[in-house]
């Protein structure tokens, strides 16, 4: 029996394969990133993995990312899918080996007495070890299915790494968005306070007969606008916190949150942008697409093998005896073996259709793989285009706020002295308010651009 098992196992492992030879499709993207007015000059960089701790340096944000990687339920679902794919691969791989079972049984039959005879009782006992209908993988059908299952498992594993990368970016984006909304809330509060003082001043001037009622009405417009913005932003900050807690998978304390977007620039590192564009081939989503392509390629081998004969073996060895005491004695051994072959003669074109479907799915996987590479290239190119101009935009916006502040201070002073009408002061204050709000959103855009660039070319966290 042991020799038979060794024989069939060797035959199974020695079968040929009908899978097409896999060659990675050439990446249809330029080797270098785009250049032009929107892009900063590229600097040489070594293709070392980019860790999120090198980019998001704030200890509070790092702690939240670590918690999210351990507690986010969407990520846990992705990891569960990896375990499912791993089990499916193990199960498919086991089909290449015989399933050996041990059985034991006992039976008893009784025949009633007939004329001239007595009752007769017959007993039998048996114990056997064997395998049933084990398919010899002569043409690699089972091996191709196992290979396909392996690639699907690897695709799921790469998908889980992509989920970690996306989650890291999402936590950073949510944390930074909350910081920006808190800054906007502060700006609205300061504008509301300044507007309230202006309204009080205008009311006093109106009571003294110096200012018309239109000045008071105009002053109240910005005051009520700031109050409206405060209410909306108070709600938004609360919703930002809820979104962050959902990503993290638990409550977030006040100590883990930023007070505003100002000053966070120093807490963010830089992503090396001088890498060869073919580094994208190692991106988790691109790797997952290639594993799915390899799985589809393996399915062609299984579809081709269906055209050829299949051979299955059955083997059994054991002992049998009418008495339990003699079951393992000499002369009680039994064995049997068998083989069955099947050759498809007419299937109505089912095998041909199966092969055509497998080839079509392979072609689809090629297109999806190329599409994943092109999408990855565009994401990096878009992030680099924003990175090349955002610092200049931020510097200009800071200068704009400073100029608007000076203009408002001067206009307010001139209004108090009765030199300018209130409309000039109102315009200056509105300009300052809008410039301050734009500066906060520009700071957020700069930080989120860095997070997007990290996710585009970074390495998934462990």
> Is 108 a member of any domain?
no
Residue 357: inside a domain, yes or no? Answer: yes
Q: What secondary structure letter does DSSP report for 277?
A: G
Give the Cα separation of 225 and 221 in Å (integer): 6
| DSSP-assigned beta bridge partners for residue 124 | 107
Question: For the segment 212-227, what is each residue's pLDDT rounded down to a tens digit?
Answer: 778 778 878 888 999 9
Neighbours of 318 (CB within 10 A): 19
* Model confidence band, residue 108 (pLDDT cutoffs 50, 70, 90): confident
pLDDT of 7 above 80: no
Count of positions (residues) in the chain = 462
Rg of the chain on CA atoms, in Å: 37
- Residue 138: pLDDT band (50, 70, 90) is confident
Q: Is residue 113 part of a domain?
A: no
Going by the DSSP 8-state scheme, the letter that residue 56 receives in this structure is B
Looking up residue 179, the CATH number of its domain turns out to be: 1.20.1600.10
Say if 150 falls within a structural domain: yes
Which contacts qualify for 81-84: CB closer than 8 Å, 24 or more apart? 81/156, 81/159, 81/160, 82/153, 82/156, 82/157, 82/159, 82/160, 84/156
Q: Token pair for residue 4?
A: 């038979």
275-to-33, 290, 461 alpha-carbon distances in Å: 9, 21, 19
Residue 423 lies in a domain: yes
- Strand 333-342 and strand 310-321: the pairing is antiparallel
Q: What is the pLDDT of residue 156?
A: 92
Residue 115 falls inside a structural domain: no
Q: What is the pLDDT of residues 347-385, one digit of tens each?
A: 888 889 999 999 999 999 999 999 999 998 899 889 889
Spatial strand order in the sheet of 310-321:
101-111, 120-136, 310-321, 333-342
Domain count, the chain: 1
Query: Above 80 in pLDDT, residue 148?
Result: yes
Q: Is residue 119 part of a domain?
A: no
Could you tell me the residue range of the domain that residue 344 belongs to?
A: 2-101+124-457
Contact 248, 175 (CB under 8 A): no
Domain-located, residue 117: no
Report pLDDT digits (tens) over 426-455.
Answer: 889 999 999 999 999 999 999 999 999 888
- Please name every residue paired with 249 in a beta bridge, in sequence order, or none if there are none: none
pTM (global) more than 0.95: no
């Amino acid at each position: 029996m042991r020799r038979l098992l060794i024989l069939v196992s060797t035959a199974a492992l020695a079968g040929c394969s009908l899978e097409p030879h896999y060659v990675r499709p050439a990446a249809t993207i330029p080797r270098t990133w785009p250049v032009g007015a929107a892009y900063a000059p590229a600097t040489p960089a070594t293709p070392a993995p980019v860790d999120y701790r090198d980019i998001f340096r704030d200890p509070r944000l790092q702690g939240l990312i670590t918690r999210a990687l351990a507690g986010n339920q969407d990520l846990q679902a992705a990891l569960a899918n990896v375990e499912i794919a791993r089990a499916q691969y193990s199960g498919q791989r086991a089909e290449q080996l015989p399933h050996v079972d041990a059985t034991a049984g006992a039976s008893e039959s009784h025949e009633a007495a007939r004329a001239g005879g007595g009752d007769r009782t017959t007993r039998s006992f048996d114990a056997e070890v064997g395998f049933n209908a084990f398919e010899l993988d002569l043409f690699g059908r089972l091996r191709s299915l196992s290979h396909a299952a392996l690639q699907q498992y690897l695709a799921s594993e790469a998908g889980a790494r992509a989920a970690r990368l996306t989650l890291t970016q999402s936590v950073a984006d949510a944390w930074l968005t909350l910081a920006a909304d808190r800054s906007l809330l502060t700006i609205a509060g300061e504008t509301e306070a300044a507007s309230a003082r202006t309204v009080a001043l205008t009311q006093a001037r109106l009571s003294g007969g110096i200012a018309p009622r239109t000045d008071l009405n105009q002053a109240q417009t910005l005051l009520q606008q700031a109050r409206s913005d405060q209410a909306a932003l108070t709600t938004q900050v609360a919703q930002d916190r809820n979104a962050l807690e959902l990503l993290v998978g638990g409550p977030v304390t006040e100590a883990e949150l930023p007070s505003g977007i100002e000053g966070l620039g120093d807490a963010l590192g830089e992503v090396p942008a001088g890498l060869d564009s073919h580094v994208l081939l190692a991106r988790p989503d691109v790797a997952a697409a290639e594993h799915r392509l390899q799985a589809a390629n393996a399915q062609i081998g299984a579809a081709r093998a269906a055209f050829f004969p299949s051979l299955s073996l059955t083997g059994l060895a054991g002992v049998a005896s009418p008495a339990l005491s003699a079951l393992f004695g000499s002369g009680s051994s039994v064995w049997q073996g068998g083989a069955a072959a099947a050759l498809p003669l007419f299937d109505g074109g089912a095998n041909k259709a199966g092969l055509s479907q497998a080839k079509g799915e392979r072609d689809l996987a090629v297109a999806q793989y190329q599409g994943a590479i092109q999408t990855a290239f565009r994401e990096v190119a878009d992030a680099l285009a924003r990175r090349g101009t955002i610092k200049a935009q931020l510097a200009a916006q800071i200068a704009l706020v400073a100029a608007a502040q000076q203009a408002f201070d001067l206009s307010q002073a001139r209004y108090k002295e009765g030199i300018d009408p209130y409309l000039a002061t109102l315009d200056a204050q509105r300009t300052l308010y809008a410039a301050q709000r734009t500066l906060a959103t520009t700071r957020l855009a700069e930080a989120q651009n860095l997070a997007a660039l990290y996710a585009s070319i970074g390495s998934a966290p462990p």
